[in-house]
A and B are shown apart, each in its own frame.
Chain A
């Protein structure tokens, strides 16, 4: 898919007479757009079939938003990333959609509080976790990204508590709150050494096309 993005960018570059650097920037942007769209469409189809579309979108968007400032482990191939992302978004959304049990609401609330406490600690210690392909060395940028990560986490936490509080009005609020918690849990795991190892193991099992 990255090759297709490069081909399209080359074609546009030739027609609009762009230099090589401008073409490289376009190819980079197109790869990002393809990644987003493919994950969005496949998760949407699976979500509509399994009736967990909203939970899927919450996880898809919130992990992305958090990842923008925290960074984290990366898959080494485009295809690996797609399979990995789609599988785990669908699995987590499915769990969030169907785990609702009104008798266990305090147990889930405790789970969310523990996840957020762990996440604040790990994010403060490690974020932003850069990729070798996109190193972050500017101290101002590191400070800004870490601050943004903590602000984002605070907003997610307040929203989760709000959703749990109103879960009696509409029981799917519970699933939405749990989806935010799962997004945070997943993204925090991707900041840790174990998350990187896990990603490497999955990577070895997948091939690029």
Chain B
């Protein structure tokens, strides 16, 4: 159960990261360092 929850969080977080990567920046005004694997999107 715990692993399933972790997998769900992981999918959601990765989805959000990809969504942000295709945008100019984060939703509001803080922009953390972007992971290398997302920088070419």
Contact = CB atoms under 8 A, between A and B. Distances in A.
A119 B14 CA distance: 33
Given A9-B13, A16-B7, A32-B17, A25 B26 contact: no
B18 to A, nearest CB: 8
A125 interface: no
A74 B30 contact: yes
Interface of B is mostly: helix
Contacts of A27: 13
Given A16-B3, A16-B6, A28-B34, A145 B13 contact: no
B30 A26 contact: no
Interface residues of A, number: 53
A21 B25 contact: no
B33 to A, nearest CB: 5
A115 interface: no
A22 B6 CA distance: 14
A159 interface: no
B34 A134 contact: yes
Interface of A: 2, 8-9, 11-12, 15-16, 18, 21-22, 24-33, 35-36, 39, 63-64, 67-75, 77-78, 80-82, 84-85, 127-131, 133-134, 136, 138, 145, 190, 199
Can you list the 8 inter-chain pairs with the closest CB atoms, starting with the nearest?
A81-B30, A29-B17, A29-B13, A71-B24, A29-B16, A68-B23, A128-B24, A24-B35
16 contacts: A9-B13, A16-B6, A25-B17, A28-B38, A32-B26, A33-B12, A35-B26, A68-B23, A69-B24, A70-B24, A73-B29, A80-B30, A85-B28, A129-B24, A130-B24, A133-B32
Given A16-B10, A78-B30, 17 more contacts: A8-B9, A21-B36, A28-B20, A29-B16, A33-B16, A36-B28, A63-B28, A67-B23, A67-B27, A69-B24, A71-B24, A74-B29, A74-B30, A85-B29, A134-B24, A134-B31, A134-B39
